[in-house]
Amino acid sequence: MAVRLDGKAIAAEIQADVAAHVEAEASRGRTYTLAVILVGDHPASATYVRNKQRTADKVGIASQLIQLGEDISEAELLAEVERLNADPAVDGILVQLPLPSHVATTEVLQRIDPQKDVDGFHPVNAGRNFVGLDAVWPCTPAGIMEMLRRSDIDVAGKHAVVVGRSNIVGKPMAMMLLEANATVTICHSQTPNLEEITRQADILVVAVGRPNLIRATGVKPGAVVIDVGMNRVDGKLTGDVAFAEVELVAGAITPVPGGVGPLTIAMLMANTVCLGEWRRGVGVN
């Protein structure tokens, strides 16, 4: 039976570390601010934003919510981003997705100052990460790496297989594992004989959005299985891994919910602090 990796507990550890750093810097007169732009009244987006603000408050990071109407023009939204770029009090800027269909999401995300790009999505930051320069990584893969580290799971020398190639999870996840000295294979929807490849993995990360994509027959005994998927099946939240059967084969596994999800918001807070310190020319302890 696999060890269940508790994302909630690890997220709490990360938040505690961030809170301690924020408190220490407050004594020196330094504060941190995260600005979140929410367009429209999409219920799920509003819930995500509330959770982010609640966590920011918990760790001592100030948050600004800029709530804009669904009918806002792209030019008006870009002007709001530029205003936040120019505000020296703002350390991190996050535009909650999805945006309305009349707004070009890529254009908006690329307009965020890379030094305030708390999600780590800007091409400048993606490029800096690729060549090993300082930049924040996207929150979900960064959280997974923290989970592995804090769970004493050694990545170096292991064969890691990443299923999924998105710019948000799959690609940066592969790069982070490679930077940690894993040998990395990337699979996707066009990969033939997927099970043959996933069965070779010492560390298997699945981020596709297809429930039960990974069955027990596709998992190496004792492997670490990280399930990033979030799918609704018969009203219940489930991942990309057939949890009940894979748990019997794997050495460690993340549940859904309660696995990777909590880490994303925790790393958002850590990224805000990192960006604030880098802009001030101060290292993060």
Q: Which of 91, 113, 117, 119 is catalytic?
A: 119
Q: Are 91 and 30 in contact, with CB atoms under 8 Å apart?
A: no
67 is catalytic: no
Q: What share of the chain is helix, strand, coil (3-state, %, to 5)?
A: 45, 15, 40
| Pairs from 137-140 (Cβ < 8 Å, separation ≥ 24) | 137/172, 137/176, 138/167, 138/168, 138/169, 138/172, 139/263, 139/264, 139/265, 139/267, 139/268, 139/271, 140/168, 140/169, 140/173, 140/207, 140/228, 140/260, 140/263, 140/264, 140/267
Tokens describing residue 262: 């909590």
* Alpha helical stretches, state H, the chain: 7-26, 43-59, 74-86, 105-111, 123-130, 139-150, 170-179, 194-198, 243-246, 261-280
Q: What residues have CB less than 8 Å from 280, skipping those under 6 apart?
A: 30
Q: Which of 91, 96, 115, 202 is catalytic?
A: 96
52 is catalytic: yes
The residue whose two tokens read 């965020």 is: 112
* CA atoms of 69 and 30, how far apart (whole Å): 33
* CA atoms of 149 and 180, how far apart (whole Å): 10
* CA atoms of 207 and 117, how far apart (whole Å): 22
Residues facing 177 on adjacent strands: none
Q: Which of 52, 116, 158, 171 is catalytic?
A: 52
Active site residues: 52, 96, 119
